[in-house]
Amino acid sequence: MTAPIPQPGILEISPYVPGKGALSKGAKIIKLSSNETPLGPSPAAIAAYREAAEHLGRYPDGSARQLRQAIGDAYGLNPERIVCGAGSDEVLNLLANAYLGPGDEAIYTEHGFLVYRIAILANGATPMVAPETACQANVDAILEQVSERTKMVFLANPNNPTGTYVAIDEVRRLREGLPEGALLVLDAAYAEYVRRNDYESGLELVATSDNTVMTRTFSKIHGLAALRLGWAYCPKDIADVLNRIRGPFNVTSAAIAAGTAAIADRGHIEASVRHNEDWLGRVAEALSELQLEVTPSVGNFLLVHFPKEPGCDAAAADAHLIERGIYLRRLESYGLPNALRMTIGTEEENLEVIGVLREFLEKRRGA
């Protein structure tokens, strides 16, 4: 018997491996490997989810109209240009399904989100990787990768796992430098956390062009990672294309209800931002005092670089942390083998991680 042969590119994909975490009865676990919010979801979202549980026998609204209207109200957008998906991952894959194929090229940056490469290869296209400068996307390096076969550019802004961002003037320069037929996809999963005057998520750029899309998620600041909910703001024609190929009920009723409540709870969102603003700087400073290099971040996580000498490197630090029930994110698959990504957690979690790393480094350096 002969096994079926998958489409070109699929066997080149390395399966996505999520951040580690363990559930163990009676054991204290600190999971800071997946950039989840330490404040959890809005109480209003939890209440809406529980109410939706009373109607599980019914199909959801296939257009997610209530949720799209809530998103539109929150950001002043036309709901008809919003497409919702099972996480922003699904939306990213829908864009690749619609606009990439064999012979096409798509660009992403050196330490960009792994889903981009998966989506490109899954559709038979060729991934092109643009080098970064000090863990930051470089517009000139991206433009150097452009060819007549370029059909799409993925830009995570802010970027995961580095925490760096590209100023809006540079994003506009990137858009202007791309061929008109090339789609620029701005992945703004962490936009709500950014407090920089020169940053914009891309909404205005989408509103004023026919070839730019911005994606967002409910998994981060809204705390709805378990429900898998994301959305895209698109030009009208692109929204029409995505609605033709997405599943007819790709977003669940529970996700629609919880997302609608979450995005309306401004108080909870602002509390999450305040907590992150407070602890992002404090944790970065504490890690720097341990003589660890920390890439400046505008997200809800930090990229922490470790010494290269054996026993003090990222692998050794990770093993030590796991022994203490602490899970950060290893980054070999992102081309950062000697770094760990740490999500900003609760006060107790942050202090615990700093203390364990201090113990680890003092012991190794004193050996």
Domain layout of the chain by residue ranges: 21-40+267-366, 43-264
Q: Are strands 132-133 and 183-187 parallel, antiparallel or unpaired?
A: unpaired
CA distance 136 to 307: 21
* Cβ–Cβ < 8 Å for 124, 102: yes
Cis peptide before 43 (omega within 30 of 0): no
pLDDT band at 49 (very low <50, low <70, confident <90, very high): very high
How much is the pLDDT for 365?
A: 73
CA distances to 53, 141, 231, 258, 259 from 49, rounded to whole Å, are 6, 44, 19, 5, 9
Cis peptide before 8 (omega within 30 of 0): no
How much is the pLDDT for 310?
A: 84
Average pLDDT value for residue range 23-29: 65
pLDDT band at 28 (very low <50, low <70, confident <90, very high): confident
Percentage with pLDDT > 70 across the chain: 93
| Model confidence at 201: pLDDT above 70 | yes
Q: Are strands 230-233 and 82-85 parallel, antiparallel or unpaired?
A: antiparallel
Average pLDDT value for residue range 169-183: 97
* Cβ–Cβ < 8 Å for 73, 296: no
Q: Which among 339, 331, 323, 327 has a CA at the least distance from the CA of 17?
A: 331
Q: Phi and psi dihedrals of 316, rounded to 5?
A: -65, -40
Q: Which residue has the higher pLDDT, 22 or 324?
A: 324
Q: Which among 269, 263, 246, 174 has a CA at the least distance from the CA of 212?
A: 174
| Model confidence at 2: pLDDT above 80 | no
- Structural tokens at position 199: 């940053």
How much is the pLDDT for 21?
A: 64
* Cβ–Cβ < 8 Å for 164, 137: yes
Percentage with pLDDT > 90 across the chain: 89
Angle between the 347-366 and 266-289 helix axes, to the nearest 10 degrees?
Answer: 10
Q: Which amino acid is at 246?
A: R
* Cβ–Cβ < 8 Å for 99, 154: no
pLDDT band at 20 (very low <50, low <70, confident <90, very high): low
pLDDT band at 309 (very low <50, low <70, confident <90, very high): confident
Q: Residue 13 contacts by C-beta under 8 Å, 6 or more apart in sequence?
A: 117, 118, 121, 122
pLDDT band at 364 (very low <50, low <70, confident <90, very high): confident
Average pLDDT value for residue range 303-327: 95
Q: Residue 361 contacts by C-beta under 8 Å, 6 or more apart in sequence?
A: 290, 291, 292, 312
Architecture of domain 43-264: 3-Layer(aba) Sandwich (3.40)
Average pLDDT value for residue range 257-263: 98
Average pLDDT value for residue range 24-38: 85
Condensed to tens digits (0 to 9), the pLDDT of residues 57-96 reads: 999 999 999 999 999 999 999 999 999 999 999 999 999 9
Condensed to tens digits (0 to 9), the pLDDT of residues 144-165 reads: 999 999 999 999 999 999 999 9
Condensed to tens digits (0 to 9), the pLDDT of residues 100-118 reads: 999 999 999 999 999 999 9
CA distance 260 to 264: 7
Q: What's the CATH class of domain 21-40+267-366?
A: alpha beta
Q: In 3-state terms, what secondary structure has residue 55?
A: helix
